[in-house]
Structure 1
Amino acid sequence: MTQPPPPPNQPPQQPQQPQQPGFGPPQGSSQPPAPSGGPDLGKAPQPGYGYPQAPQTPPPAPPSAPQGPGYGYPQQQPPAPAAGYGYPGQQPGPYGQPQQPGPYGQPQQPGPYGQPQQPGPYGQPGYGYPQPGTMPMQPQPGQPGGGGRRGNGQLAIIVSAVVAIALIVGGGVWYATSSGKDDDKGTTAESGGTGGKDAKNGGGTGGTSSGAREKAPADTASKVLFQVPAPKVPKGSTTIATTGSWLTDTVYAKSGIAEIVGYDRAKGTEKWTLDLPGPVCEATSHVTEDNKTAIVHKPAMPTKDDPQSCTQVALIDLEAGEEVWSKTAKTGTMEISFNNVTISGGTVAAGSTSGGAAWEAASGKQLWAPKTSDACYDSGYGGGEKLVAVRKCGSYDQRQLHIQTIDPKTGNVITEYKMDEGIEYAGIVSTEPLVVASDVGDSAGDGSGISDFFSIDNKTGKLRARISAPGEEFSARCDIITKIEKCSGLVVGNGRLYIPTEEHEGTAEYSQTNEVVAFDLSTGKQTGQRADAGDGYQVTPLRMDGGNVLAYKRPPYDKGGQIVSIDGASFEQTTLMENPATKAVRDVETRMLPDYAEILYGQGALYMSGVYASDFSSSDKEYLAIAFGTE
């Protein structure tokens, strides 16, 4: 599904030293500088960044990989195909399991979008960004049967293969601060494919641009607004999650190491810093109307002897920069370590292999917790307009998933769809309309977690359509094993599922490209609509904007990335932003690609950030986030 893009092709260059993946502290600095405007991405360090220095048990570190040349440079002769799909850890096989690399560039059958998959000249390893992944659950004992609403304490062993994302930046960048004149208000903070209010537009009639808020400026050329230096990882640690980024009308908030910082959207100056006792484990992209969101974090900084569990569920006020409340839940006498968290209908819900729990957002009052007598458990939830539970029932070898639309106040089941036995995991793509992704029989073959989509009527619980999305043809991904709501590279709206195709050869020599296509959720068939990325670009949907699809275009070697709006009816594209084509800016941008970073766009500004920090050293400046804006 997310077959890594073909590696870059460039003219011969002088050999360079390999670059290590991951963040790593800024060179010659003990503390990263605070972000600010100016002509240099690497200003002198300033004190007071505030990252705890306690040690942590190092997670598995990815292998070092030399940084390849930039994408899209032509070569005199195409290189011979090399083994593997291009990215470490992205070989075909069961989700999250490393497999032996296979040959890249084998002839493909034509995809449904009409482009033949000819073998291309790109066979070298790709950008070299390892994917954060998770290992499948181990077999666990259990009793078959439906049981009650909320689950028992069936424990499973989840081995998280946490890897670092390299945000290695070379050179300085000339940039200026935008005017900050944001006339458009009320943008969402959702960065992925989860449906929401936007998903209702169009009513399945083919799409409409009505309700779109993002407009093309007079000048689409962007400038760098600010950058956030990569945080320094505490001594004794190698990789720490920095999951979570959100937008309000005035604040861009981003998780660091054991903190969340709110930045002025245009200037990047710190408006507030919320210190946490431990690192953020998971975060929802959903934001309430009064700018609240939810996270899961550890109760203390991990150490070699005590790695800490993700037991704390917290509600965060993104305008005030305050933790409204922090709660835990138990199964029996043991505190639950949560894998995911979401918000819907004034309720914060979190799931795990021990079951799910929920709290009232306004008060922090616990609404439900796992029942130890049940033979089923809520492994996770999808939020937004509806609250949907992925409920696991039965023993390991007779597993059945129940996709339940539930009352966010009581947890009572409203409707239920039972997936076929043998489907072990599912991810929530959208809750309204309800769309679920799964890798049926581990058939995706590329670690994406997606082989099929299930369009479900959440008013009746009946299956509307099953959509086959072979991994070799389509590019999107879901972390279906534990995170449930972490689906990226696809969006739902207008009664459609919008998903990008895999890269294939373009019309220009040595170029690669792809498209966004649409599936009708009522029939499961393609609509025939297609938005071409253009030679050298790769397009990825970000979110709905009214009836339009907002998408990011990864750039070729000599251009900057773009934000485009795809009309939901005509599929005509309008460019909203084009980033600088200077090498220094592209070096930052191309290390924050959609599969490996969080990308938010709203009110004419683009925010790209990493989800891991590491102590892998580099001679280049490194960044946690970068923001672009148009005048």
Structure 2
Amino acid sequence: MTQPPQPPPNEPPQGGFGAPQDPPPGGFGAPTPPPADPFGKPPAGPPATPPQSGYGTPPPAGPPQQQPGYGYPQTPPPGQPPQQPGYGFPQGQPQQPGYGFPPGQPQQQPGYGYPQQGQPPQGYGYPTAPMQQPGQPPQNGNGPKKFSTQAQIIVAAVVAVVLIVGGGVWYASSGGDGDDKKDEASTSAGADGENKGGDGKDLGGGSGKEKVPANTRSMVAFQLPQPKVTDVTTVDGSWLTDKAYVKTGVNEIIGYDPAKGTKLWSIPLPGQLCAASRHMSKDFKTAVAFEGAKRTAAKKYQSCDHVGALDLSTGKLMWSKSVTAATGGDEPVRFAEITLSGTTVAAAGTDGGAAFDLNTGAERWKPKVSTDRCYDSGYGGGDALAVVRKCGAYDDPQLTIQALNPTSGAPLSSYKMPPGVEYASIVSTKPLVVAADVGDTAGDGSGISDFFSIDAATGKLLARIPADGEKYAASCRSTEVESCQQVAVGNNRIYVPTEEHDGSNDSAGDTNEIVSFDLATGKQTGDRADAGDDYTLFPVRMDGGNIIAYKEPPYDKGGQVVSIDGSTFKQTVLMENPSDETIRDAETSFSPEYAEYRYSGGRLFISETMISKSGESSLDDKEYLVVAFGAN
């Protein structure tokens, strides 16, 4: 198994799973008081937080209980005592069901030697893949995966004995009094006219803009080969405008004709790109961070100390600049992340941060120095702006989530994360949802053991949603604040895929589902979208009240894009890609955790976020930067 090249000791890696060291920098304090609150009114009546029980205490012995089907709420049979909660979860709460069993059916325990979740990837934020022998059929029925540094590690771990005592425990968090009260919480309307009702009855399904093409069977629009590089290189960032598909390259940003893949324009950069905003303004402007000079043989790594704004309509670099840290000194700030909210560009790194006006580049604010060794770890953008602020000792940090006024940087609210959280990721800013691996308990390298739903106006915790790593498949790169994949937030719900599991008796392949949880209560809603035999699916983004999802194909079919109605959870196929082996190999060569999926108007673009020098193991495989599909 070929490991990816490692970064030199003088250059910290950009993101990636795991917990690389980030030395504690100087701190910053609260900026100026905020103007008007852009977040809107909070849900009323936040629930209280029950204390969590400790890990390692097995439940008492008792008669076996029946488990309801995966993805449905559980109700104990009449006359029977409630089941004990799962390992490491609070007592007195209802359990969730196990995989694939209908209500009232007994659940069998997995046999000795069943594979468990993959271990955290190794190296420079990069996974590797298992070697596949020539002539062997693909494993798990999900198509051949290229053996390269872009594929995810899959480790089959042997389990000695697994005592199944139920699934996760979903609960509304309280202030710590340990009661089991149900809290009533109102909901507020979100962006794009979404109906955010909390009862699951009227969620605005069908309000999406994506329409079913006249012909859902697609063809390859174009394929772009990976540029030649000598080391691990970030190519994060891809955007769709009304006229172009835009993708980062090495020392440049390129706009392509979305139908043909021909180059429309190129924005040269003085150095290599190191971070790109996921968000884009309505007039197709965005922001990136990049190195101030090109790499040379004498200096292989430059400092990522420049921020710039791009006009993706005209293919122009509007402005670029570097800034010094708020702590003083002449050294420019090194940036690791960048985002966009409205007309505010916010960039952060371990030695400082800054915010700029998107259109002019004027500096808006910097996090101020504080005495408690605090700094802004990174920002989440989009409809609002939020920050993960890290304080305290390196080996015992305290993380705080703050909603910010984008114009001034002033905190609007603060929520302290529980002890044992070293890294946190912002999944959504409106509503405010955070993911974290509390106490490193996820165990699967996903960076997620729990989701936290927070009232952005008051800083109150609405719900804490445990996301058992053995059951759910979303992922966040723990050292990047805005990096979560395979998860979507809308309709006052969070939509997550389940882990792969056995399909029907007629199928030899695996399958999974998308399920949802109510952000006001933390409870599972009962929504369930099945991938179908041999397919696995995950959310890509919201489309009004609907969910756009991608279905990874089996070894003999092409992938699909589907729209899931937010009210009925009915699936509608928007695109089905060719089953030709060569095309399918190209489509499945991307690892979802390290790829960008962009779908709009009957076109799908899959692209890499990081590339490296080709290794001997992949000399016979074509490596793509982008694979694009369009309607026939």
Asked if the contact 1:351–1:381 (Cα under 8 Å) also holds between the matched residues in 2, the reply is yes
Deviation of the 1:415 alpha carbon: 1.3
Aligned to 1:625: 626
Q: Contact 1:198–1:493 (CA<8 Å) still a contact in 2? A: no
Alignment of 1:611-622 (within 5 A): 611-617=609-615, 618-622=619-623
1:143 is matched with none
User: Deviation digits for residues 381-415 of structure 1, max 9, x if unmatched?
Assistant: 00011110111122234422121111111111111
Name the SS of the counterpart of 1:488 in structure 2: coil
The match for 1:299 is: 292
Matches within 5 A, 1:7-18: none
Tell me the distance in 2 between the aligned counterparts of 1:254 and 1:57: 27
Task: Please name the residue that 2:471 is paired with.
Answer: 473
Q: TM-score, normalised by structure 1?
A: 0.71
Q: Secondary structure at the match of 1:621?
A: coil
Cα displacement (A) at 1:423: 1.7
Q: Distance in 2 between matches of 1:266 and 1:118?
A: 47
Match of 2:462 in 1: 464
Following the alignment from structure 2 to structure 1, what is the Cα–Cα distance between the partners of residues 117 and 396? Answer: 39
Contact 2:355–2:366 (Cα < 8 Å) also in 1: yes
Compared CA separation, residues 124 and 405, structure 1 to 2 (3 A): closer
Report if the CA contact (8 A) 2:121-2:445 is conserved. no
Partner residue, 1:353: 350
CA distance in 1 between counterparts of 2:520 and 2:408 reads 30
Partner of 1:115: 99
Match of 2:90 in 1: none
Kindly indicate whether residue 520 of structure 2 is the aligned counterpart of residue 535 of structure 1: no
For residues 95-106 of structure 1, the aligned pairs below 5 Å read 95=19
Tell me what 1:275 maps to.
268
Q: For 2:272 and 2:494, how far apart are their aligned partners in 1?
A: 34
Please report how far the alpha carbon of residue 304 of structure 1 lies from its aligned counterpart in structure 2 after TM superposition.
5.0
CA distance in 2, matches of 1:131, 1:394: 27
1:381, 1:390 within 8 Å by CA — same for their partners in 2? yes
**Equivalent of 2:150 in 165, 169, 177:** 165
- Tell me if the contact between 1:57 and 1:302 (Cα under 8 Å) persists in the aligned partners: no
Query: Deviation string for 1:351-394 (max 9, x for gaps)?
Result: 11123210111211111224344432111100011110111122
Query: Contact 1:330/1:369 (CA < 8 Å) preserved in 2?
Result: no
Structure 1 or 2, whichever has the larger Rg, is 2
Of 238, 243, 246, which residue of structure 2 is paired with 1:250?
Answer: 243
Match of 1:216 among 191, 212, 218: 212
Q: Which residue of 2 aligns with 1:512?
A: 510
The aligned residue for residue 556 of structure 1 is 554
Q: 1:134 to 1:462 in 2, by over 3 A?
A: farther
SS in 1 for 2:478: coil
| Cα distance in 2 between the residues matched to 1:59 and 1:588 | 35
Q: Deviations along 1:473-503, whole A, 9 cap, x unmatched?
A: 100111232x201110000000100000001
Letter of the structure 2 residue corresponding to residue 115 of structure 1: Y
Q: In structure 1, what is the Cα distance between the partners aligned to 2:553 and 2:453?
A: 32
1:487 to 484, 497, 507: 484
Asked if 1 retains the 8 angstrom alpha-carbon contact of 2:250 and 2:273, the reply is yes
How far 1:547 sits from its partner (Å)?
0.5
Write the distance in 2 (CA, Å) between the matches of 1:446 and 1:125: 6
Long gaps (5+) in structure 1: 1-17, 24-55, 61-88, 98-108, 136-162, 168-194
SS of residue paired to 2:593: coil
Quote the Cα distance in structure 1 between the aligned partners of 2:365 and 2:273.
Answer: 23
CA distance in 1: counterparts of 2:599 and 2:124, whole angstroms: 23
**Aligned counterpart in structure 1 of residue 307 of structure 2, from 302, 308, 313:** 313
CA 1:471/1:267 → structure 2, altered by over 3 Å: closer, same or farther?
A: same
SS in 2 for 1:232: coil
Partner of 2:425: 427
Deviation at 1:166, TM superposition (A): 6.0
CA distance in 1, matches of 2:483, 2:272: 19
The Cα shift of 1:614 comes to 2.1
Number of residue pairs the alignment of both structures matches = 482
> Deviation at 1:240?
1.2
Match of 2:223 in 1: 227
Percent of aligned pairs with the same amino acid = 51
Of residues 491, 500, 503 in structure 2, which corresponds to 1:503? 500
C-alpha distance in 1 between matches for 2:291 and 2:531: 41
Q: Distance in 1 between matches of 2:9 and 2:401?
A: 36
Corresponding residue for 2:167?
none
- In the alignment, the residues of structure 2 paired with residue 278 and residue 203 of structure 1 have an alpha-carbon distance, to the nearest angstrom, of 47
Q: Can you give the 5+ residue segments of structure 2 that lack an aligned partner in the other structure? A: 22-66, 71-95, 101-108, 128-147, 153-188
1:329 aligns with 2:323: yes
2:499–2:512 contact (8 Å) kept in structure 1: yes
Q: Are residue 133 (structure 1) and residue 103 (structure 2) matched?
A: no
Q: Distance in 1 between matches of 2:608 and 2:493?
A: 29
Q: Which whole-Å CA distance do the structure 1 matches of 2:613 and 2:543 have between them?
A: 38
Mapped partners of 2:9, 2:582: distance in 1: 31
2:438, 2:450 within 8 Å by CA — same for their partners in 1? yes
Q: Is the 8 A contact 1:199 1:544 kept in 2?
A: no
Query: What letter corresponds to residue 324 of structure 1 in structure 2?
Result: M
Tell me the equivalent position of 1:588.
Answer: 586
- What are the superposed Cα offsets for residues 477-535 of structure 1, whole Å, 9 maximum, x if unpaired? 11232x20111000000010000000111113421010000000001010011100011
Is 1:417 aligned to 2:415, yes or no?
A: yes
Contact residue 199 and residue 432 of structure 1 kept, 8 A = no
The aligned counterpart of 1:241 is 234
CA offset digits 1:560-613 (Å, max 9, x no partner): 000001111111100000000000001100012321211100111000011222
Amino acid at match of 2:273: V
Structure 1 residues 443-501: Cα deviation after superposition (integer angstroms, max 9, x where no partner): 001111100000001121111000000111100111232x2011100000001000000
> Following the alignment from structure 1 to structure 2, what is the Cα–Cα distance between the partners of residues 58 and 303?
17
For 2:409 and 2:319, the matched residues in 1 are separated by: 21
SS, match of residue 586 in structure 1: helix
CA shift in 2, pair 1:577/1:465, >3 Å: same
What letter matches 2:316 in structure 1? E
**2:345 maps to 1:363:** no
1:125–1:460 CA distance, 2 compared to 1 (3 A): closer
Q: Which amino acid aligns with 1:533?
A: A
Q: 1:224-275: CA deviations, max 9, x gaps?
A: 0111121111xxx222111111111111000111111100111211110111
Alpha-carbon distance in structure 1 between the residues aligned to 2:245 and 2:454: 34
**2:592 match: secondary structure:** coil
Any idea what the Cα deviations from partners look like across 1:57-87, whole Å, max 9, x if unmatched? 7999xxxxxxxxxxxxxxxxxxxxxxxxxxx
C-alpha distance in structure 1 between counterparts of 2:556 and 2:257, whole Å: 30
Contact 2:205 2:568 in 1 (8 A): no
Q: Which has the higher contact order (CA 8 A, sep 6+)?
A: 1
Q: Is the 8 A contact 2:507 2:533 kept in 1?
A: no
395 and 124 in structure 1: CA distance in 2 versus 1, 3 angstrom threshold: closer
Name the SS of the counterpart of 1:595 in structure 2.
Answer: helix
Whole-angstrom CA distance in 2 between matches of 1:122 and 1:586: 28
Measured in 1, the distance between the counterparts of 2:502 and 2:112 equals 7
Residue 320 (structure 1) shift: 1.0
Q: RMSD between aligned alpha carbons?
A: 3.1
Change (3 A) 1:547 1:302: same
Take 1:489 and 1:600, find their aligned partners in 2: how far apart are those partners?
Answer: 12
SS at match of 2:207: coil
Partners of 2:542 and 2:548 within 8 A in 1: yes
